Amino acid sequence: NNMIYGYARVSTKKQLDGNGLEVQEKALLDAGADTVVKEQYTGTTMQRPKLDVLLEQLTAGDTLMAAKLDRIARTAAEGAAVIRSLQERGVAVHILNIGILDNSTTGRLMMNVLLAFAEFERDMIVERTQAGREIARTHAGYREGRRPLPQARKDAAVAMIRNGYSYKEACEATGLSRSTVLRAVQVVRGKHSL
């Protein structure tokens, strides 16, 4: 017998209004979920053990339901990959604020829209990372290919942050860890208020 599994998730750090477990659970049950798997994780780890188990359990004819795509994936690209692998196994995915992503005409259309967003997202990341490297290269001592001097990499990361890039992008472009970049920014902010 086919089951509709709801999946609700919150990260403990941001219990945002409308994203609380109870709110998600109610929305999923109201939409027809037979059972709801609830998960809570801290912002530091991206592990979702309950979701992993649920994804393995689903069989052809079942439906995975979530309030929003960001509950089951961090990016459109990841969402598209998860949904596609489920579709191949005959599992439908129902995202409440998008619709049912199955093999119907509408489902395929929504999937194409999602894939277009995933591609856009990847292009943006690539473009921004390249632009970040360009900024990084303008800093003395930052050499592409060879390990640049640590200070030059830190300066480049700080320059990227000042230019409106995210910490993730600065880390990707300079190869530094987030904590290193955070410290470098704090050091600079200490010297002269940014």
Kindly list the catalytic residues.
Answer: 11
SS3 for 108? Answer: helix
Name the token pair of 157: 């990361």
Name the token pair of 29: 């049950």
SS3 for 183? Answer: helix
Q: What's the rounded Cα separation, in Å, for the pair 49 and 64?
A: 16
Phi (first) and psi of residue 93, to 5 degrees: -120, 125
Cβ-contact 63, 36 below 8 angstroms: no
Q: Are strands 35-41 and 4-11 parallel, antiparallel or unpaired?
A: parallel
